[in-house]
Amino acid sequence: MVVSPIDYRYGRKEVKEIFSEKSRIEYMLKIEASLARAEADLNIIPRNYADIIAKHANLSDVKIERVKEIEREIGHDVMALVRALSEVCGEAGGFVHLGATSNDILDTATALQLKRFYDYLEEDIGNLSKALYEKAKRHMKTVMIGRTHGQHALPITFGLKVAVYLAEMLRHSERVMESRKRVIVGKFMGAVGTGAALGKDSLKVQARLMEILGLRAEEGPTQIVGRDRLVEYVSVMAGISTTMEKLATEIRNLQRPEIGEVQEPFDESRQVGSSSMAQKINPVVSENIASLARIVRGFLIPMHESAILWHERDLTNSAAERFIIPYVSILTDDILTKMTKVIEGLKVNEDVMLKNVLNDDLSLGEAYLMALVKAGFGRQEAHEIIRKASMDVRKKGGKLRERVEEIAGRKIKSISPLDYTGNAVAITRNILKMYEKRYSVKRKNKG
């Protein structure tokens, strides 16, 4: 029986596979095999026994059904796997899991899962950043109205709007790369973090085990790896999801008919917008991204709570983390890949952007304020003139510049919104250069 929508509706198959039950058990078997090898390298167990353990530490010999059967009997998942592996190893089975505690295996398995996932995550961020880069570069000089408080403010360019998101993704890229070294760690220090079972050899075994697995070791373990590491991981994922929802919300707003400046990809030949209103083109992907992003962020508090454990460890984190780590990872990948497709296929209605900015004479209020200051008015006096003139135009219509001239008793130069975008192009170019430096892109032209 399938219950969770993540099993049949959300997430990419290749990413879900990383966090599947099958892969989790395979990682645990890999760690048990690597542990035996490390202990053999240090002459703690016979080499031939380590070879036997490694030979049988796979799902062809250790059946998932057998592991579950043992777990139903004894009520312990790791010990069930250890017994199932020991059963197929003959005499060598007596050396399986030697000196280890459950979370030596569980936390190290999580590290291996996240190590693999980070590769997908970095690729996701790179793909979306590239799509944003291309869109910002193409629309570097596409003038549109800027909005604050949902109201028309000043002219900007669509390239700048997109470049702002690109800069944010570049920061996320840094956070992901920086967090790798803190998040992806394993351990082999036993029940309370002292490694007492193997004495001084524990540190050597841990070092060799992590070398084999390609992981860093937790420098200050208890029975578990420090949960501040997973708190950081989930926080980074939540930050990425926040950016995705923010971008999705912007697209949804700009797609509203009364604005109509962009439209997310829509297959007009077959896609259905509504079951009852066949004429509709709904921003369903952007809405889906927003919905999933909220789920990712919803795991922030449970992950923080899971870091607060009694003494050297209790079990109050275990059930929560079985949901948190897979769901946060799978859904973050899902929203990143969806957003990349949205940006790549985003329809930008340049003519509507131009119409919206040209039809709002009030968007030049700041420009005329500065013109008055240059003409000799004090800044506060000029501000009041612009305010009064704007209110009059809203009530009676007309042109803002003409009403300003009437109130001020002074002629001022006419300004086009197309010429009042400040440093939008320069800022966009600087962000594009940041992307090019980060991803070693050679510029074919200056744009």
Active site residues: 149, 274
Q: Which two tokens stand for residue 69?
A: 């059967």
Task: Residue 191: count other Cβ atoms within 10 Å of its Cβ.
Answer: 17
CB burial of residue 51 (10 Å; 0-12, 13-18, 19+): middle
Where b means 16+ CB within 10 Å and e means fewer, 273-290 reads eeeeeeeeebbbbbebbb
Q: Which two tokens stand for residue 190?
A: 């036993």
Contacts of 331 (CB under 8 A, 6+ apart): 6, 10, 11, 241, 292, 295, 296
Number of H helices, E strands in the chain: 18, 6
Longest CA pairwise span in the chain (Å): 102
What is the spatial distance between Cα 295 and Cα 6, in angstroms, rounded to a whole number?
A: 12
CB 99 within 8 A of CB 189: no
